[in-house]
């Protein structure tokens, strides 16, 4: 198999991260979680006591932050400078502010450049890469070898996210509250002016609502393996 570029979009809680990591691990590909990059910038904004609603201040900080994204699908990491924020970026404060930070056009422009650099680095090393986020198929990698839109019913997504939060934080989370938060996040991501969440016309839809994780991974892996070899 050649070194394919797999671009994956989809709403929060759809299972795309788990599916992408599983596919990358199974096929020996690198993995880039672009959402973690936006969360890392948001963490830096909050850490610096910058108002997430202050677009110019957020943009200025974002371009000065040094981000390092680990692309091992078995253990993806994200650092801000020398600080490992892999776990910290999943906290409630970051989750509440990330949509505002992500909506800043200068932030997106800066991170898109970093994301494309990660793809180029994989190619230089002769490796393929799975890149997931919310504007990957439409903006970041419109010429990807395979474009996917991973989705699931909002109630299913909420249940999954609640289970993840409960496991991480050690306490129960109200599913209805999570679903309301996801719907709000979807609306913000889909309506923002800069690179809104959208399904690319040529993206393959992968609905994980009624599928197990292994089934979804197998479905996507089959799509990747079916790609023609350009050589």
Identify which of 102, 220, 83, 91 has the alpha carbon closest to the alpha carbon of residue 164: 91
Residues of the chain with pLDDT under 70: 1, 168-172, 230-231
Identify which of 100, 70, 98 has the alpha carbon closest to the alpha carbon of residue 86: 70
- For 37-64, write each residue's pLDDT tens digit: 999 999 999 999 999 999 999 999 999 9
- Provide the 3-class DSSP secondary structure of residue 84: strand
pLDDT (0 to 100) of residue 169: 64
pLDDT (0 to 100) of residue 9: 94
Q: What are phi and psi of 11, to 5 degrees?
A: -75, 165
- For 71-83, write each residue's pLDDT tens digit: 999 999 999 999 9
* Cα gap 139→135, rounded to integer Å: 5
- Whole-number mean pLDDT of the chain? 91
The CATH architecture that domain 5-225 belongs to is 3-Layer(aba) Sandwich (3.40)
Contact of 102 with 113, CB cutoff 8 Å = no
Cα first-last separation, the chain? 10
What's the CA dihedral at 151, 216, 7, 91 to 10 degrees? 60
Domain positions in the chain: 5-225
DSSP letters spanning 30-59: EEEEHHHHHHHHHHHHHHTT--TT-HHHHH
Neighbours of 65 (CB within 10 A): 18
């Amino acid at each position: 198999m050649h070194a394919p570029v797999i671009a994956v979009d989809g709403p929060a809680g759809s299972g795309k991260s788990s599916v992408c990591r599983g596919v990358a691990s199974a096929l020996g590909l690198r993995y880039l979680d672009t959402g973690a990059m936006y969360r890392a910038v948001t963490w830096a904004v909050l850490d610096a006591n910058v108002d997430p609603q202050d677009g110019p201040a957020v943009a200025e900080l974002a371009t000065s932050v040094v981000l390092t994204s680990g692309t091992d699908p078995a253990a993806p990491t994200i650092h801000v400078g020398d600080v490992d924020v892999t776990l910290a970026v999943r906290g409630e404060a970051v989750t509440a502010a990330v949509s505002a930070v992500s909506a800043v056009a200068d932030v997106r422009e800066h991170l898109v450049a970093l994301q494309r650099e990660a793809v180029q680095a994989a190619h230089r090393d002769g490796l393929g890469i799975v890149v997931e986020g919310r504007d990957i198929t439409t903006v970041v990698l419109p010429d990807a070898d395979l474009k996917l839109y991973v989705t699931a019913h909002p109630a299913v997504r909420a249940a999954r996210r609640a289970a993840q939060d409960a496991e991480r934080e050690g306490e129960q989370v109200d599913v209805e509250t999570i679903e309301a938060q996801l719907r709000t996040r979807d609306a913000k991501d889909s309506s923002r002016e800069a690179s809104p969440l959208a399904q690319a016309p040529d993206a393959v839809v992968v609905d994980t609502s009624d599928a197990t994780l292994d089934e979804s991974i197998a479905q996507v892996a089959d799509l990747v393996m079916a790609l023609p070899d350009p050589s």
